[in-house]
């Protein structure tokens, strides 16, 4: 490995350890999201450099949660408005944490934008369509899928098939249509039965 790669590895390892200490579920979530992102990225024909940037950004996308109170992160109750505002601040906190690292060009901007929506109703800047970096649009789909499949302290988990259907229902509103299509194309490696895959494709066409 080149010295710069070693520094980046040391940095991501340190951040991973900090996240594990803070909240184990969050750390596991990052690696699962990175895996789904890579499947989507391959179906979008991203270059090796783009896939590497996507993986790194996915691994770090919720790093800003290091700055959110444990009581909010681990709450089993529905969050009130003030608590949601604190939770949402993690996108901005992550951006500010990462933007100083010259070894990670582009990562801060992607992390900043991972909760934006295709229709402009996301946060923190309400970016619309392609104003959001493509790799952040990929993370948005993979993040939502993982959050549904593995649940949250305040929300029960659902099956992969149901989560995928939910993603498809928000194709063109919450999510970039091309990214959703690439996600669906990569579903079989996630382990869905072929029949479910076919049903989802049918849903896409109607």
> How many residues lie near Fe ion (CB under 5 A)?
1
Nearer to Fe ion, 37 or 192 (CB): 37
C-alpha count within 13 angstroms, C-beta hemisphere, residue 75: 13
Residue 146 found at the interface with Fe ion (CB under 5 A) = no
8 A C-beta contact, residue 89 and residue 82: no
Question: Partners of 155 in the beta sheet?
Answer: 152
Q: How many residues does the chain have?
A: 206
Question: What is the footprint of Fe ion within residues 31-70 (CB under 5 A)?
Answer: 62
- Separation of alpha carbons 146 and 75, rounded Å: 19
Least separation in angstroms between residue 37's CB and Fe ion is 13
8 A C-beta contact, residue 162 and residue 130: no
- Separation of alpha carbons 86 and 99, rounded Å: 20
> What does the DSSP 8-state code read for residue 78?
P
Nearer to Fe ion, 64 or 186 (CB): 64
Least separation in angstroms between residue 133's CB and Fe ion is 15
C-alpha count within 13 angstroms, C-beta hemisphere, residue 164: 25
Q: Give the three-state DSSP class for 134.
A: helix
Read off the tokens for 71: 């009581």
- Separation of alpha carbons 165 and 199, rounded Å: 9
Q: Which residues contact Fe ion (rule: CB under 5 A)?
A: 62
């Amino acid at each position: 490995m080149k010295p710069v790669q070693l520094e980046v590895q040391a940095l991501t390892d340190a951040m991973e350890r900090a996240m594990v200490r803070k909240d184990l579920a969050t750390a596991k979530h990052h690696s699962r999201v990175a895996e789904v992102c890579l499947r989507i990225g391959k179906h979008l024909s991203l270059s090796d450099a783009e896939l590497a940037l996507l993986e790194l950004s996915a691994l770090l996308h919720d790093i800003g949660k290091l700055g959110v109170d444990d009581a909010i992160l681990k709450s089993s109750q529905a969050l009130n408005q003030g608590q949601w505002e604190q939770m949402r601040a993690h996108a901005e906190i992550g951006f500010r944490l990462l933007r100083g690292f010259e070894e990670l060009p582009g990562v801060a901007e992607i992390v900043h934008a991972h909760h934006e929506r295709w229709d402009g109703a996301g946060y923190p800047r309400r970016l619309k369509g392609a104003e959001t970096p493509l790799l952040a649009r990929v993370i948005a789909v993979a993040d939502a899928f993982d959050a549904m499949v593995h649940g949250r302290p305040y929300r029960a988990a659902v099956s992969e098939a149901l989560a995928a259907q939910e993603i498809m229902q928000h194709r063109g509103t919450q999510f970039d249509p091309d990214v959703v299509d690439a996600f669906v194309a990569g579903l079989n490696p996630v382990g869905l039965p072929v029949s479910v895959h076919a049903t989802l494709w049918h849903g896409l066409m109607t």
